Amino acid sequence: MVTRTAQERRDEEKRAYDAYLAACPARKLLDEVSGKWVSLVLVALGDGPQRYSDLSRRIAGVSQKMLTQTLRTLERDGLLTRTVTACVPVRVDYELTDLGRSLRQLVAGIKDWAEARFEEVESARDRYDARSAALTIGSDGAG
Amino acid sequence: MVTRTAQERRDEEKRAYDAYLAACPARKLLDEVSGKWVSLVLVALGDGPQRYSDLSRRIAGVSQKMLTQTLRTLERDGLLTRTVTACVPVRVDYELTDLGRSLRQLVAGIKDWAEARFEEVESARDRYDARSAALTIGSDGAG
DNA sequence: CGGAATCCTGGGAGATACTG
DNA sequence: CAGTATCTCCCAGGATTCCG
């Protein structure tokens, strides 16, 4: 089939892209760090070691699944340590490593930026939306 | 039904959470900024204004849909400007605003961190995986 | 050239229930 | 308390096609 060659070409491009990503691990890491909960966990751990339940309380809206998953990934990446204390109710503490602290600094910077600038962003949105609405109305009646 | 009350309670919590998010717009902004392509676009625009086609070439692997979508969002948020030059082949340039540049600085910091530290992360992963494998084998045969 | 509209799929993410 | 396992749903995002 002729259609196969197109499919094959796309597959090849896909493989080339995957190879590119493999050759650029920093970008995959960048992607991972951009995860929805990563920044929140990192910031939450900024105040020192925290128990699992502390984290789930401090990070509003996180499911235990996503919290566990995020913590596992960060532990694997060497950004935090997981310490199990085998007492009667099991106790697990999470703490940032030096590597994790170095990233936390940067992430906290973004968080601060978001908190400091979101008003500017919102007013920009209002202007944009107002402009869009005006264009829609304008192009509606008048040719 | 008794089951309804459970459902109702969950709905209420859901609404409460949504209200919380609405009351915390900075977090939504943080989420948005964490988007997969946002950082790449921001960094790519660091070298000055770029045409649409320039961006799609510089950002390997981005689809035209996601590039457009990301650019629209960033434009709406006031992070960049979109300039259309109505010449024969239409020309569109994107350029960071001051607000966009301020964020780009921070994002570039994360990118630099990822590039500088990914080796540490990878070796941490290797250690973690080796440990996990050892535990799996150990718990397999010996009780 | 720079998009918009449409269709479709993978997997990210929540809810629930169970375990040590 | 701190998870694990499973099911499901939703939508981010890719492919394709059409437009000015």
Strand C contacted by B36 CB (< 7 A): no
What's CA B88's distance to the chain center, in Å?
35
Q: Which of B17, B75, B124 sits opposite A77 (nearest CB)?
A: B124
The answer to whether A91 contacts chain B (CB < 8 Å) is no
Tell me the mean pLDDT in the region A62-83: 96
Chain A residues closer than 8 Å to B17 by CB: 60-61
With a CB-CB cutoff of 8 Å, which residues 122-141 of chain B face chain A? 122-125, 127-129
Chain C, protein-covered positions (CB within 7 A): 1-6, 12-17, 20
The Cα–Cα gap between B40 and B61 comes to 11
Rg, chain B, Cα only? 23
- What does the pLDDT read at residue A122? 93
Mutation site for A-interface testing, chosen from B13, B118, B126, B129 by largest number of A Cβ within 10 Å: B118
- Specify the higher pLDDT residue, A9 or B37: B37
Confidence of residue B2 (pLDDT cuts 50, 70, 90): very low
Confidence of residue B26 (pLDDT cuts 50, 70, 90): confident
Distance from the A1 Cα atom to the nearest Cα atom in chain B, whole angstroms: 27
Average the pLDDT over each of A66-70, A101-105, B4-8, B19-23 and give the range with the smallest value: B4-8
Q: Is the pLDDT of residue B99 over 60?
A: yes
Confidence of residue A18 (pLDDT cuts 50, 70, 90): low
- Structure token digits, residue A5: 């060659």
Strand, helix or coil at A93? strand
Strand C contacted by B52 CB (< 7 A): yes
Domain boundaries, chain B: 35-138
The Cα–Cα gap between A65 and A79 comes to 19
Q: Between chain A and chain B, how many beta carbons pairs sit less than 8 Å apart?
A: 114
Mutation site for B-interface testing, chosen from A27, A32, A80 by largest number of B Cβ within 10 Å: A27
Q: Is the pLDDT of residue B22 over 90?
A: no
A67 exposure class (CB count in 10 Å sphere: 0-12, 13-18, 19+): middle
Q: Is the pLDDT of residue A2 over 50?
A: no
The Cα–Cα gap between B97 and A18 comes to 33
Tell me the mean pLDDT in the region B87-109: 96
Within A37-97, residue ranges assigned H as helices are: 38-44, 52-58, 64-76
Distance from the A17 Cα atom to the nearest Cα atom in chain B, whole angstroms: 7
The answer to whether B22 contacts chain A (CB < 8 Å) is no
- What does the pLDDT read at residue A131? 87
The Cα–Cα gap between B100 and B81 comes to 9
Distance A70 CA to D4 C1' (A): 15
> How would you classify the pairing of strands A91-96 and A50-51?
antiparallel
- Which residue type does A104 have? R
Tell me the mean pLDDT in the region B77-92: 94
What fold does the segment set A35-138 form as a domain?
A: Arc Repressor Mutant, subunit A (1.10.10)
Chain D, protein-covered positions (CB within 7 A): 1-6, 12-17, 20
Starting at the earlier edge strand, list the strands of the sheet with B50-51. Answer: B50-51, B91-96, B80-85
Q: Is the pLDDT of residue A64 over 90?
A: yes
The segment with the largest mean pLDDT, out of A134-138, B49-53, B127-131, is B49-53
Mean pLDDT of chain A: 85
Nucleotide nearest to B71 (CA to C1'): C3
Closest among B82, B97, B107, B86 to B32, alpha carbons compared: B107
Chain A residues closer than 8 Å to B75 by CB: 128
- Structure token digits, residue A87: 């007492």
Q: How far apart are the first and last CA of chain A?
A: 48
Distance B22 CA to C16 C1' (A): 27
Confidence of residue B142 (pLDDT cuts 50, 70, 90): very low
Starting at the earlier edge strand, list the strands of the sheet with A80-85. Answer: A50-51, A91-96, A80-85
The Cα–Cα gap between A17 and A22 comes to 9
Which residues in 98-117 of chain B line strand C, with CB less than 7 A from it?
A: none
